[in-house]
Amino acid sequence: MRVERRILLGEPDGESRAAIARALRADGHEVEEAANGADLLLRAGSEMACVHGPRGALVLVVAAGLPVFSGSEVLEILQRLRWDIPCVIMSGAPDGVEHTRARELGAVAVLGSPLRMEQLRGILRAQAGPGSVAAHDVVERVRAGAVS
């Protein structure tokens, strides 16, 4: 089976995470799951550090209330690292300040609650290929202390 996208899914609730991952896998996506923002970013870093870049079209799907690093904090870190990885934020809050902030930080979409899988599927179909930053450039910037 052809993998449509590589998705890093950050969701603190184990049952919700498993249900979303199951649905995405059934759609042909390769899904890695993370229960907190630090784990999610480590997995993203591993993808970006691959010699040939990410293995396929990488997309982050992140709960706004993710522990350690929230959805907005993940977006801020992605900006600082200049990692061009599409990020979808899942928010339980109604459209408001949190949604606006996520969009300002570069989220490709902010989905409210309850999560509608058809809406997420449409967003994933619309995403282009993997991030545009070469892995060796990122590693060099980190080593030089240009990224904190």
Tell me: the pLDDT tens digits for 17-35?
A: 999 999 999 999 999 999 9
- pLDDT of residue 85 exceeding 80, the answer is yes
- pLDDT of residue 37 exceeding 80, the answer is yes
Amino acid sitting at position 15: E
For residues 123 and 38, what is the distance between their CA atoms, to the nearest angstrom? 24
Q: What is the model's pTM?
A: 0.79
Question: Cis peptide before 114, with omega less than 30 degrees from 0?
Answer: yes
For residue 2, the model assigns a pLDDT of: 56
For residue 134, the model assigns a pLDDT of: 37
Average pLDDT score over the chain: 81
Q: What is the CA radius of gyration of the chain?
A: 14
pLDDT band at 128 (very low <50, low <70, confident <90, very high): low
Q: SS in 3 state form for the chain?
A: CCCCCEEEEECCCHHHHHHHHHHHHHCCCEEEEECCHHHHHHHHHHHHCCCCCCCCCEEEEEECCCCCCCHHHHHHHHHHHCCCCCEEEECCCCCCHHHHHHHHCCCCEEECCCCCHHHHHHHHHHCCCCCCCCHHHHHHHHHCCCCC
- pLDDT of residue 103 exceeding 50, the answer is yes
Query: For residue 15, with 0-12 CB atoms within 10 Å meaning exposed, 13-18 middle and 19 or more buried, which class applies?
Result: exposed
Q: Do residues 10 and 34 touch, judged by C-beta distance below 8 A?
A: yes
